[in-house]
Amino acid sequence: MNPNPRHLHAPGMTPDELAQALNAPLQLDVQQIAQFERDGFIQLRQVLPAELLKHYGAAITARTLALNTQTAPLEARSTYDRAFLQVMNLWEHDAAVREFVLGRRLAHIAAQLLQVRGVRLYHDQALYKEPGGGITPAHADQYYWPLASDRTVTAWVPLQSTPLQMGPLGFYARSQSVEFGRDLGISDESEARITANMARHGFEFRCEPFDLGDVSFHLGWTFHKAGANRSDTARAVMTLIYMDADMRLAPALNDVQRNDWAQWCPGAEPGQPIDTPKNPLLWAG
């Protein structure tokens, strides 16, 4: 595998066509925005060309493998570590990944779904579920984030077709207003308690396959999880976490939020807008 593939271009797509596909706005309709506001997530079809994802996926995979520090065998890991290999802020380490992460198309979609004037990057995160990798327990992402509002959204971008046997992400529709479970990080406890609470209150769990080019978006407080990877191929996914361009830093409520403050928005101060070199403005209407 070429560890530095940024000088290649996807078959059939010139560098200019790649840039166009990454940055061209995609206007959502009022029904899609209303669906997201109601359900706390949406899965959009054919947002990005397959050729583009194959091209940038090669760069993301190479950098993920180069930066990965998880070497323990699956059977020796915790539930959290069996869920995926995890590498963050790849955009700071590779020019091709930077192009992908700073692309305006996904950022424009995020701004529309959040109904805000613009969005900044909170951070990116590669999530590779190895063959035989375990479940991703039920959780809400914003447990980890020292952010002052709920105007956050994660784009979940598979880098290959992802059938159910590979463990695609699934969501508890309309769960974004549920406070129970917001104090639980990803763990066996979160899986048991959140899943039971969702069932008790009748929240529907929706999980569908992803074709290459499909992208889902979910709010920071929408509860979600993923199944085990029962295939013989790694489930490669890139995620991009966006926040309201006017987001302010909140006082950290736990150690993981203090770590996120230091890692993803260093120099920001509680109560003040998060405007640091690590949090570039990606879309402004």
8 Å CB contact between 105 and 46: no
Is 99 strand, coil or helix? Answer: helix
Element (H, E) at 60: helix 50-67
CATH code of the domain made up of 26-268: 2.60.120.620
- Tell me which DSSP letter residue 221 carries: T
Q: What is the pLDDT of residues 94-142, one digit of tens each?
A: 999 999 999 999 999 999 999 999 999 999 999 999 999 999 999 999 9
- The pTM assigned to this predicted structure is 0.94
Element (H, E) at 234: none
pLDDT band at 81 (very low <50, low <70, confident <90, very high): confident
8 Å CB contact between 119 and 233: no
Q: What is the pLDDT of residues 129-168, one digit of tens each?
A: 999 999 999 999 999 999 999 999 999 999 999 999 999 9
Q: Is pLDDT above 60 for 10?
A: no
Among 88, 240, 32, smallest CA distance to 155 is for 240
State the pLDDT at residue 285: 85
Residue with token string 């035989």: 132
